[in-house]
A and B are shown apart, each in its own frame.
Chain A
C-alpha cells in the first residue's frame, strides 16, 4: 500500500511529535516507534480503498448531539484537598517552576 520511496511516516516525524509531547526517546525507541506508528497509519489507510464521497467525517462514534447540562453552580469546596495534593503551593495557589515565554 505504501511505496518505499515515500514512506508515510519518517523517523524525523516521530522525533518531532515526541518533542512536542515532551518525550525523550532513545535511538532504539525512535526506530521501534517509527515502525509501529507506520503500521497504525497503514491500517487506517485501508479506508482509502473505499469510495467515501458524500460521507461526512465522524466526530464521535456515538450517534448523539447536544448533550447539555443546565447552568446551575455547585459549591465543590475542594481547594484544601487539591492544594494538599500539589507538590508545591504558595498563597493558596499552585507553585510551578519559572515558565519560559507566554502561553501560546
Chain B
C-alpha cells in the first residue's frame, strides 16, 4: 500500500500466514476546553464537574468550534505529512448513554487531514489514511456483576470527558506483526508529545488504540476479512491482542470456517478477544453533515504560521544524529527517544568519537545528562579513545561530570586515574603468562569457549595487580599478540 513496507518479511505468528494490521489511534488533544464548548478539558476531576449545556446535549445548546483544537489537529497533519484541507463535521448517530445527544460529532467524508505517512525508526514508512477531529464520549462505570458489562445491574455516567477534543488517526493496513504495531504506536506517541498535540498517556486513556487485524496465506494478494479489536490499554496488550487474534483467525480458516467481520473486545485478564455486538444494524450510523457547524477551511497563511512553530520531529532528529554519527536511523533511535541527541550531536561536532558517544549516551546516561556539557563530554571521550582512561574509569568520570560539571581531566586526577604505561603493562602480562603456564596453554590452544574463559582470567589478574587501572581492551590485544608469537 505505501512506500517501504513491502520488502520486509513478516515476523510470522503462524508459519505460512501473514498478519495484516491497521491501527486507529484516538488521542485527546491538549486544549484547555472542550471541542465545542467552554467546559474544561481536564483529566481526573470530580464526576460531572466539567460539564455545561453543550457537553450534556441539552435542548437548545449549540456547538462552537475550539480554535486551539483545530490548530493542534493541523499540527498533527503537518507532522504526518498529511494533505490538509477544507473539512466538514458530521453527525454519527447511535444510542448509548455516554453520548447524551444520541449522536457524536465527528468528521466523515471530508476530514481535516487526508493522506500522509509516518516514518518508523528503522526508516520504513507507514501510510496514514486520514486524521480527523471528533468529540470524546462520557465515561460509563458498570455497577454490579463484577464490573462486567453483560452482568451489570446498572451503569453510572460521568460526562467530564464528553466533548473533549480527539484526533482520530487512521493508519493504512501496512503493519505486519506485533513489533511493527508497537513501533508505530510508540512513534506516533513521540510525535504527538513532541508537537504538543497530546500528552499521549495510554494509562490515563488520553491515547487509545483500536486494532484491525486480518490474516492471509503468505504470498496472497487479497486481504482477508478483518476484525476490529477495542479496549487495548497498553503497548503490551496491543502485541498480545494481535497474536491472539491472528491465531484465532488462522484456526477458523484452517477449520474450514470463515472469519466474520466484527468488533471484538480485548480482555487483558483472560488474554483473549471476544465479541460484544451482534446486531449488524448497529453499524448503520446514518452520517450526515452537522447542520449546527460550518466547514473549516484553514488558509495557507494559517497553516504556514503553524508549520513555523513545529519543533524538530523525532524522524528529523534521528536523521540528524545518524548523519553526524555515521550510523543508520535505527541506531540513533534510543538517543533521540531519550532526548539526548542534541548533546550527542554537539559532542560529535566538538570532535568526539561518535561510536563512544552513542555508547555512553545509551548506556551510561540513563538518568539524564545533568551538568555534563558537550565540550566536557567530547574531552572525556578523547581521553578514553587516546588511552588515558579505561572504559570503566571513563564511566566514573562521566558520572562526576553529570553530577557536578567541570573538566574531565580534573575529575580523573581526583580519582588518581593515570594512564598505565604500555611498557609496564606488557611486562606485567608477560610475568602473568610465565606464572600461569596451564592457563596460557588453555588460551593459546583452547576452543572459543576456553579461550574466552582464559582471557577473562588474565584480564582479571591484570586488573587485580593494577587495581583496575589497566584498559581491558589493551590487555586483550596484548594477549592476542603474544599468542600469535608477537
Contact residues in A for B39 (Cβ distance below 8 Å) = 73-74, 76
Contact residues in B for A101 (Cβ distance below 8 Å) = 149, 276-278, 282
- Tell whether B222 is near chain A: CB-to-CB under 8 Å: no
**Which A residue's beta carbon lies closest to that of B94?**
A104
A73 touches B64 (CB 8 A): no
- Tell whether B68 is near chain A: CB-to-CB under 8 Å: yes
Which of A60, A71, A91, A100 lies in contact with B295, CB distance below 8 A?
A60
- Tell whether A20 is near chain B: CB-to-CB under 8 Å: yes
- Tell whether B12 is near chain A: CB-to-CB under 8 Å: no
Contact residues in A for B284 (Cβ distance below 8 Å) = 20
Contact residues on B (Cβ < 8 Å of other chain), bracket: 35 or more
- Tell whether A70 is near chain B: CB-to-CB under 8 Å: yes
B88 touches A99 (CB 8 A): no
Contact residues in B for A78 (Cβ distance below 8 Å) = 51-53
Which of A70, A79, A103 lies in contact with B49, CB distance below 8 A?
A79
A102 touches B277 (CB 8 A): yes
Instruction: Tell me the minimal C-beta distance from B205 to chain A in angstroms.
Output: 14
B96 touches A99 (CB 8 A): yes
**Which A residue's beta carbon lies closest to that of B231?**
A102
Interface of A is mostly: loop
Instruction: Tell me the minimal C-beta distance from A54 to chain B in angstroms.
Output: 16
- Tell whether B263 is near chain A: CB-to-CB under 8 Å: yes
The distance in angstroms between the C-alpha atoms of A91 and B353, with both chains bound, is 62
Which of B68, B154, B283 lies in contact with A97, CB distance below 8 A?
B154
- Residues 89-120 of B, flagged 1 when their CB comes within 8 A of A and 0 if not, give 00001111111000000000010000000000
**Chain B 109-162 interface residues, beta-carbon cutoff 8 Å to A:** 110, 137, 140-144, 149-150, 152-159
The distance in angstroms between the C-alpha atoms of A59 and B287, with both chains bound, is 13
Chain B residues near A (Cβ < 8 Å)? 31-33, 38-40, 46-49, 51-53, 56, 58, 64-70, 86, 88, 93-99, 110, 137, 140-144, 149-150, 152-159, 230-231, 263, 265, 276-278, 281-286, 289, 291, 293-298
Q: Other CB < 8 Å A-B pairs besides A82-B56, A91-B47, 7 of them?
A: A20-B93, A62-B294, A71-B66, A78-B51, A99-B149, A99-B152, A104-B263
